[in-house]
Amino acid sequence: MAEVYDVIIIGGGQSGLACGYYLRRTKLKYLILDEQEECGGAWQKTWDSLRLFSPADQSSLPGWLMPKNEDGFPPKDHVINYLCKYEGRYDFPVKRPVQVEDVEKESGVFKLKTSVGDFSAKTVISATGTWKAPFIPKIKGIDIFRGKQIHSAQYNNTNDLENKNVLIVGEGNSGAQILAEVSKIADTSWATLKDPEYLPDDVDGRVLFNVATAKYKAEKEGKKFDPAAYNLGNIVMVPTVKEARERGVLKTKGSFTEFTENGVIWEHGTKENFDLIIWCTGFHYATDHLNNIVDPDAKGKIKTEGTRAKNTNGLWLVGYGGWTGYASATLIGVGRSARATIKEITEYLKD
């Protein structure tokens, strides 16, 4: 008879590891299934120059501080190294590469159908994040454009972009950071639905997390939260974006209404040709593997109370951002959600 785990975590990135940290303190039998070939989660897939918004000691998973980085904001490789060492430090039971293709529930037990066979568990934590679900809006004529289109999830670096005409789409952090980098080597334009909004120069991830914490506490106490000068969606002025501002690069051309074969038509009617479009338009939630046991909306969002799925007993979702816990999509923020989740699961399995 196949082994039935108390808990199976789907996803071995930062959220899955944070849950594992608290699970190892229990007597529960658990397993982490990760689709990646190696440790490091979605950080393996990010663009080469990406850096954290916060110093290392403000970007840590529970139990072990990220080692300091010499120049303040840790780069991609530093984060991956930390996640791999964190995984090894606590000797989590991780099995990879395993693609979870479907989850079913029979007689109170979850059956996970995967690329390496079936697994069974009394409870499931989905910690797959968003990286597998990039969002590109359906704009008129998008299918006739002959140039190349990629999402920020596929962007790596500026290799082969020299002297190209590149359009960056999106007014968030990824749009600003990729614009800052690509504009050094290519002729770039920036398309945004609204004027980009920037945080003060001295505000980084440390303050953002503190704002998220303040919001959490205020709402728990039934008080109104006023973030004053801060908006969690505004652009963080990391060094590369500050440098781009000094070069006069951070200038939006507004939005465009449709594509032509060679470019776009801007809202004021002028046409412009581009070789490449880089979509920095965000992500939906990577929850397709749960479609047989939940009813997600168009973005993959599931009804939850905290991290617990409302309509599917025994299912929790960790690390998907605001709807599963304030700042839960961040390294330092996911610990709170993970701790609360494991406490709930422990109580649930007592029954």
DSSP assignment string, 173-204? HHHHHHHHHHTTTSEEEEE-SS---B--TT--
The C-alpha atoms of residue 44 and residue 177 are separated, in whole angstroms, by 18
* 67 cis-preceded (ω within 30 degrees of 0): no
Residue range 176-215, pLDDT digits in tens: 999 999 999 999 999 999 999 998 888 777 776 677 676 7
Q: Is the pTM of this model over 0.85?
A: yes
pLDDT of 1 reads: 58
- pLDDT at residue number 117: 96
- Bridge-based pairing state of the strands 271-273 and 276-279: unpaired
Using 70 as the pLDDT threshold, list the residues of the chain that sit under it: 1, 208-209, 212, 214, 225-232, 351
Neighbouring C-alpha atoms within 13 Å toward the C-beta of 53: 26
Alpha-carbon distance 341 to 337, whole Å? 6
Facing residues of 278 across strands?
150, 168
Q: Provide DSSP, 125-142.
A: EE---STT-B-----BTT
87 to each of 30, 34, 132, 219, 286, how far by Cα in Å?
14, 12, 22, 33, 22
Model pLDDT, residue 232: 62
Q: Given this model, what pLDDT does residue 233 score?
A: 72
Residue range 4-133+283-349 forms a domain whose CATH class is alpha beta
CA distance 323 to 92: 27
Give the sign of the dihedral formed by CA 260, CA 265, CA 269, CA 271.
Answer: negative
Domain boundaries, the chain: 4-133+283-349, 148-198+235-279
Q: In what order do the strands lie in the sheet with 271-273?
A: 256-259, 263-266, 271-273
Spatial distance between the Cα atoms of 13 and 34, rounded to a whole number of angstroms: 8
148-198+235-279 and 4-133+283-349 share a CATH fold: yes
Tokens of residue 285, six digits: 């939630």
Which among 343, 338, 331, 336 is positioned nearest to 65, based on CA atoms? Answer: 331
Write down the mean pLDDT value for the chain: 93
pLDDT digit string (tens) for 281-327? 999 999 999 999 999 999 999 999 999 999 999 999 999 988 998 78
**Helix/strand/coil for 149:** strand
The rounded distance, in Å, linking the Cα atoms of 182 and 159 is: 10
CATH code for the part of the protein at 148-198+235-279: 3.50.50.60
pLDDT computed for residue 310 by the predictor: 96
